[in-house]
């Protein structure tokens, strides 16, 4: 999934609450990217 596709998927899932949100920061990672980051952090 590309970063843009991931962004769109997250916003689509949150479309009901987004009008009420002033600002939001989302770090949406695929399971593979998350695992890679966790492995790198343990080194």
Instruction: Count CB neighbours of 1 within 10 A.
Output: 11
CA distance 38 to 34: 6
Contact residues for 21 (Cβ-Cβ < 8 A; gap 6+): 14
pLDDT (tens digit, 0 to 9) for every residue of the chain, 43 residues total? 888 998 899 889 999 998 998 888 888 888 999 999 999 999 8
> Does pTM surpass 0.75?
no
Helix (H), strand (E) counts: the chain: 2, 0
Cβ–Cβ under 8 Å, residues 31 and 2: no
């Amino acid at each position: 999934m590309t970063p843009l596709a991931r962004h769109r998927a997250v916003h689509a899932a949150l479309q009901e609450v987004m009008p009420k949100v002033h600002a939001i920061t989302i770090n949406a990672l695929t399971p593979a990217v998350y695992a890679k980051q966790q492995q790198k952090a343990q080194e």
